[in-house]
A and B are shown apart, each in its own frame.
Chain A
Amino acid sequence: EDKVVQSPLSLVVHEGDTVTLNCSYEVTNFRSLLWYKQEKKAPTFLFMLTSSGIEKKSGRLSSILDKKELFSILNITATQTGDSAVYLCAVNKRSDNAGNMLTFGGGTRLMVKP
């Protein structure tokens, strides 16, 4: 059975701190790994990773994938209160009948205090 596990479940930090969120996976026919940020209802896309060792970066956020050890990390530097959200990791697997099925991890709830 496909599995995506995120840790920690929740995290409380202060503004300016750096955080690292973890995502490990076990899926057959891996295609890509995606990170989303969910503040209210709709998850918003952050990154898609397909290759090992290549860091994706957007402002204070960065992410990297290790396909050998089957995990990814999402780093947020100089955190701000606006970073408070649930961060979701999802794995996209190759499928004959549905080209883009995502299996989500349980999420990490991040709270950034002023």
Chain B
Amino acid sequence: SAVISQKPSRDICQRGTSLTIQCQVDSQVTMMFWYRQQPGQSLTLIATANQGSEATYESGFVIDKFPISRPNLTFSTLTVSNMSPEDSSIYLCSVYRTGDVEQYFGPGTRLTVT
């Protein structure tokens, strides 16, 4: 299995500020993804973090709002920019390794924007 850590685990931020969430995996992985889970909702894919190139964003998500980095095969960051209360969610990092059955999820970052 892949062990994933995320930092911070939770944060309370003021509107208009930005927060960068880190995702670290204990082994090299093929794919890294960022998901958002708004209160009471299911998971929505924000983007696929591509190593060495720009992330691939899903419909409704843009790079200016959610810049993503992936400098190597074990680490990625997601920044939530110019936050508003609507950004209050759990943000989850997920990874997939070629040949694995499952896709693993990190413990999540609970973000509250006031």
Contacts between the two chains (Cβ within 8 Å), count: 56
If over half of B's interface residues share one DSSP class (helix, strand or loop), that class is named, otherwise mixed; here it is: strand
Q: How far is the CB of B41 from chain A (nearest CB, A)?
A: 7
Contacts of A34 in B (CB 8 A): 102-103
Q: By the criterion of a CB under 8 Å from any partner CB, how many residues of chain B are at the interface?
A: 24
Nearest CB to that of A6 among chain B residues? B42
With beta carbons under 8 angstroms apart, the residue of A43, A98, A107 that contacts B31 is A98
Which positions in B face A, CB cutoff 8 Å?
A: 30-31, 33, 41-45, 48, 56, 90, 92, 94, 96, 98, 101-108, 110
User: Besides the contacts A45-B102, A103-B45, A107-B42, what 10 more A-B pairs have beta carbons closer than 8 Å?
Assistant: A36-B105, A41-B110, A42-B107, A43-B92, A48-B101, A99-B96, A101-B33, A102-B103, A104-B43, A106-B41
